[in-house]
Structure 1
């Protein structure tokens, strides 16, 4: 299902990327049942780096990553392997603030390592007491001689158990300053003050952790007090790609449903002969195609340098993740008992999709962004 790439939002290089990556996925990715998820993620990062795909995640000079390429990569990887998509995406999110706001020295030190797969990246914003309410983070950053040290905890940090470099957000001002009192920092994963306080197990296994910072040395990223803006711009850069990953999961679910419907015996025919199946398949295809349209529009707008792309990005992320949940649920229902059997692809997809409606801005947050922007436009 690559016909969406023929739309005028995309260029020949995007179609070439999809074909190249799809071929690589077929040759290199198997199932996602790993005994050691940490080692599996490190291996995937190394493989993606060696193949040259992680270069899509980092900036070239002063140019931000191409969002259409990121969306194509994530939808293609997610269709093949949720863990491979995760490994790719976190290299982008974890280093995104460095790409957008890092100094020449910071970019030179970290971006080649991230793009080659020699360094695993992480993005540390969420805390035990703050999820969507990022403006109220409590981690403290204090001056220590010529540098800074961080003290506190971060939670639900993807790649937290294996990160070599982390973008961390901490409070340099008072709590009354709110978002204005937050700054961004780069932290090395091997700092002796950084430890894994808890490994967090979730329904789709990822290297997720609660991290403890005990006077961890940190390198300032951007200007002091500018951390909240850096965090939000980084999330916005990759928000459309979360929808693209959901699209990849939905496409795979539709493919699995079509294969099952056309082979599963039902009476004297097959499941695909049943009008109820037609209705279900039609709804799944509608959901996939509308998600494609919203993702393509939002990614194109972002690459074209639209002044404010937040509403389009929020719509793409919200619709694609919510609709993918419905598509996968329909595929599970169609499979019957097999659909909830551990090891079945649709059962795996059912576990993979759920987190996408929460991370990088929950669905409720996306609705707020859309509504506020719409009202602002109406009142102006």
Structure 2
């Protein structure tokens, strides 16, 4: 196993290659896309470049997804093109339940198109009354006479909704409270009764609602076991939480690099900004926190890939520290740049909008602290 404290030469070379692909091939596609909607040419490019295949093996016997690969991908992409990073992450989040828990038939039917970038996925967990408290799901899967179910209710804050081609939807199939009685279903676009609408966000991400008015699902649509959907959801989040931290680290590195260049070239009070102690100490703090966040992320990814018992705690720590660090670093970068960083189209104006959401989604900062405290007493 690669030490979590140092990347191998091969990993560093691949990281650099991904950054170059993001800057040269993916950023132009991102800039040409419609803000707030699924960018299909960008998703297709991720498939053509083989990046989605590093996250989601296309079919077969469901080989394990490498958390370290996922983290390095997200961090490298985020430094050059946050839209590409988000598109890749959403493909993985929506399809990982199939890769990990799906039947061979489900994997062979759905994953090749997802990995190729021809099909867009969504992970439909959150609801109007169930965000951080994911066990409070209310979307009802009512038994139908044909041995299947009909879905009734609403999902909200769903990335890639309502344009996704395939949604992993979590619904309540039994009367048991809390995590018990939740089942994961695959719901392709076009099912009768499936609707939705886009939601305009602070950062222009493809996010929306999904509505279910008697949407039919059958036994072949169940991911994992009936009543085992909460386990599917939590296993997915356990993999992706460290990589949310990697996304945050990538944004922090981009903000730090821009600020180092600005502080070296900007003249103020008789010299470059970097020579002012207030600025130099802030830069040192930004760099130190970013490096610490990266190490936590790599350690959590290595623990996941090794099957360590403390992966839940490590994942929560990585997500918590990295997202809070990125907020600090980007905010500090804006402060050092001054008013120019607030101009629409500036890198830091973009990062300032992008960096806020990761402290909320896939378990808010407060939820991560609760998880860490609980795990300390196990």
TM-score (norm 2): 0.94
Three-state SS of the structure 1 residue aligned to 2:377 is helix
SS of the residue corresponding to residue 318 of structure 1 reads helix
Instruction: Spell out the pairing of 1:76-115 with structure 2 (5 A cutoff).
Output: 76-115=76-115
Residues 1-380 of structure 1 mapped to structure 2, 5 A cutoff: 10-30=7-27, 36-37=34-35, 41-59=39-57, 61-144=61-144, 145-174=146-175, 176-196=176-196, 198-218=197-217, 219-376=221-378
Please state how far the C-alpha of 1:33 moved relative to its aligned partner: 5.3
Deviates more, 1:66-75 or 1:27-36: 27-36
Task: Count how many residue pairs are aligned between Structure 1 and Structure 2.
Answer: 370
Q: Which runs of 5+ in 1 are unaligned?
A: none
CA shift for structure 1 position 44: 1.1
Q: State the shift of 1:129 in Å.
A: 1.4
Aligned-partner SS, 1:316: helix
Greater mean deviation of Cα atoms: 299-308 or 12-21: 12-21
Q: Please list the CA deviations of residues 211-266 of structure 1 after superposition, one character each: whole Å capped at 9, or x if unmatched.
A: 11112233111111101111111111111000000000000000110111111121
Whole-Å Cα distance in 2 between the matches of residues 25 and 82 of structure 1? Answer: 9
**CA RMSD of the aligned region, Å?**
1.8
State whether residues 151 and 216 of structure 2, in contact with CA within 8 Å, keep that contact through their aligned partners in structure 1: yes
Residues in 2 aligned to 1:128 and 1:9: alpha-carbon distance in whole angstroms: 42
**TM superposition shift of 1:71:** 0.3
Q: What's the CA shift for 1:339?
A: 1.8
Find the aligned partners of 1:81 and 1:123 in 2 and give their Cα distance: 22
Kept in 1: contact 2:121–2:167 (CA 8 A): yes
CA distance in 2, matches of 1:195, 1:358: 25
Alpha-carbon contact 1:148-1:220 (below 8 Å) kept: no
* Contact 2:4/2:302 (<8 A) preserved: no
